[in-house]
Amino acid sequence: MIDQKNNKFAEKHQGKAQISTIIENEILKHSKDCKLTCLSAFQIADGLQISSAEVGMTVDLLNFRLTKCQLGLFGYQPQKKIIKAKEPEDRNLKKAIQDRLVEEKLTCISAWEIASKFNIQKMIVSSACEALNIKITKCQLGAF
């Protein structure tokens, strides 16, 4: 079990948010050792027909940890991120990434949309970004 005294995820919400018991109950059902995977967070959001950001905020307020980012950027042990830089083989993929940049960064949702458009795994997009020195920002769950 995580020592919740050392987790300060709730602090980023500065007491402005309250825990929804409905979301909390779903998180408790799907979490283990105060950790919830990215995939589970999105499944909860879909099941409750709420935004992923609401689930992410509740995870923070519970001082739980999000794990196993579907882009491979955080939550893996022991190295935290698991993606490796890999140049995109498809020039169209590289162009799609570059076309979606905002201030030279790609948002998480854009990475997901590109993966869907090209019918590829999300980590292929993040690996391409890693090779192109493009930072992925604005996690849909609010983790980064």
Q: What angle do CA 142, 36, 33 make, to 5 degrees?
A: 135
Cα–Cα dist 132/127, whole Å: 9
Q: Give alpha helix (H) positions in the chain.
A: 21-30, 38-48, 52-61, 91-99, 108-118, 122-131
Residue carrying structure tokens 């998180």: 27
Res. 6 pLDDT band, cuts 50 70 90: low
Q: Where are the chain's structural domains?
A: 4-67, 76-144
Q: Kindly report the pTM of this predicted structure.
A: 0.89
pLDDT at 9: 73
What are the helix and strand counts (H, E) for the chain?
A: 6, 4
Region 101-106 average pLDDT: 98
Q: What is the pLDDT of residues 19-59, one digit of tens each?
A: 999 999 999 999 999 999 999 999 999 999 999 999 999 99
